[in-house]
Structure 1
Amino acid sequence: MIVAGADGCRTGWVVCRRDVDGTLDIRVLKTLAEACEGLSLLAVDMPIGFIDVPRPPRACEVEARRLLPGKTSSVFPTPCRPALGCTTHADANALSKSLGIGLTRQTFHLFPKMREVDALMRGHPALQAIVREAHPELAFARMNGGKPVLSKKRKPEGFAERLALLARHGFKWTPQTLSGAAHDDVLDAIAVCRTALLIAEGKATRLGPEHDRDRHGLPMNIWY
């Protein structure tokens, strides 16, 4: 089976594709739709499924933070669906606040990627069987015996620690420049590619109730 992991980057998406023989093909694509072609499974580091009000948060996020002590800030709060349509942070923050709680500028900067994933999943329902939400820090924690990797991935020691974990679990990558993507983006794409493989093999763990869906029927689960 061919699986892949995708992480957003400044020029599109870093996609790590794992062939049946274990070979990794890592490249930058402009759209996530391109990454779905010919795959058994694609794990993406981006929310799938949005609640209508910002509180309470999605159950899968609550569970994810519980599994990442010392690293909870890596689980960004997913915006409510009404705010996702706003084009400025001020408007999105004000709308979200009126519904319960505001949202950060960091989260707002992810809106274009979130909208892209949402449109893809809603426009092509068959992809719900192929595309799953994942989280790289959960993936690394699983590789690390269930303990969160507390070092920062953008620092040399944190990068090296994650690179070693990936190699130990059969996802070896020799760092090289990839136009349009940072090295830590690539690490995350490889990490969630391993999650995709675990899902395909029936070995992954799902966070959030199995039938937890948003109003458009999109699943609200995080896999690792």
Structure 2
Amino acid sequence: MSWVAGVDGCPAGWIAVFLPTEGGGEAPPAVVSVATAFAAVIDAARAPAVVAVDMPIGLPARTGHGGRGPENAVRPLLGGRQSSVFSVPSRAAVYAGDYGAACAAALATSIPPRKVSKQCFHLFPRIREIDGLLRARRELVERVYEVHPEVAFWRLNGGRALDLPKKVKGSPHGPGLAERRAILAAAGLPAPLIEAPPPRGAGPDDYLDALANALIARRIRTGAARPFPDPPGCDEEGLPLAIWA
């Protein structure tokens, strides 16, 4: 049996949803787990053939207006949800030692010059974790793909952007979560999986995002997904620059 995994960051580390490549009544049930290290998802017993993770992959030496190419490629798809796609700065900024140094590096490597948002800065340790793993284990580039939950839901929703946010003022937003559950159900996931409480260490929004990412991982595995931009770019370290959906 071949497996894929959809992964999202969560307070405890990484929440992963493992799905069999093909659905149906004879397929084994999904498995949900939380790992403190991204490598643990890659090296899990189910050995996912594709891992779709909501975290930037590929860090260019310089960025243009709006961040990397993938962010600029997907924002027009999302309507009022465009702000959910952060502008990721250069590799030098991501590897800077503190917020001030990150802003200084970003200013020096972006056109027009742009500092780093605090929200994006807090993701830097996780970006570095994946970046370091892919650079150390080059064979993983063929298994690990960057996705974005809002773009995943856009695709699963027939190319229509979502109307509601999943969080309001930092707290889960019930109507927005309900909208996402309905899309996951229409995409074929069973109700018990969608309605299950998230595992300890993950929020309900993290869980639903991981489910959506897993469905995109399945589409990548079967050749039904496409990259944004198409074809993907590549950074100076040879890592791909694309968000898949």
CA deviations over 1:54-107 (Å, ceiling 9, x no partner): 324322211100111111111111121001111321221122123321110000
2:30 to 12, 24, 27: 24
The answer on 1:202 being equivalent to 2:223 is yes
1:93 to 103, 107, 131: 103
RMSD of equivalent CA atoms: 1.3
Alpha-carbon offset, residue 177 of structure 1: 4.1
The answer on 1:35 being equivalent to 2:41 is yes
How many angstroms apart in 1 are the aligned matches of 2:28 and 2:91? 38
1:185 maps to what in 2? 206
CA deviations over 1:21-53 (Å, ceiling 9, x no partner): 162111111111111131110000000001112
SS in 2 for 1:208: strand
How many angstroms apart in 2 are the aligned matches of 1:22 and 1:68? 34
2:57 to 48, 62, 68: 48
How many angstroms apart in 2 are the aligned matches of 1:60 and 1:177? 29
How many angstroms apart in 1 are the aligned matches of 2:100 and 2:189? 41
The answer on 1:215 being equivalent to 2:236 is yes
Gap change, CA 1:63 and 1:211, over 3 Å in 2: closer
Q: Gaps (5+ residues) in structure 1?
A: none
Alpha-carbon offset, residue 211 of structure 1: 5.0
Asked if the contact 1:33/1:120 (under 8 Å) is kept, the reply is yes
Alignment of 1:108-119 (within 5 A): 108-119=121-132
How many angstroms apart in 1 are the aligned matches of 2:186 and 2:176? 15
How many angstroms apart in 1 are the aligned matches of 2:57 and 2:28? 27
How many angstroms apart in 2 are the aligned matches of 1:97 and 1:215? 19
The answer on 1:128 being equivalent to 2:137 is no
Alpha-carbon offset, residue 112 of structure 1: 0.6
Gap change, CA 1:122 and 1:64, over 3 Å in 2: same
SS in 1 for 2:195: coil
How many angstroms apart in 2 are the aligned matches of 1:209 and 1:81? 22
The answer on 1:171 being equivalent to 2:189 is yes
Counterpart of 2:84 in structure 1: which amino acid? S
2:86 maps to what in 1? 76
How many angstroms apart in 1 are the aligned matches of 2:215 and 2:232? 24
SS in 2 for 1:141: helix
Q: With structure 2 as the length reference, what TM-score do the two structures score?
A: 0.87
Q: Gaps (5+ residues) in structure 2?
A: 22-26, 167-171
Q: With structure 1 as the length reference, what TM-score do the two structures score?
A: 0.95
Counterpart of 1:165 in structure 2: which amino acid? I
1:149 to 162, 178, 186: 162
How many angstroms apart in 2 are the aligned matches of 1:96 and 1:211? 23
CA deviations over 1:157-197 (Å, ceiling 9, x no partner): 11011011111112232231411111100111111100000
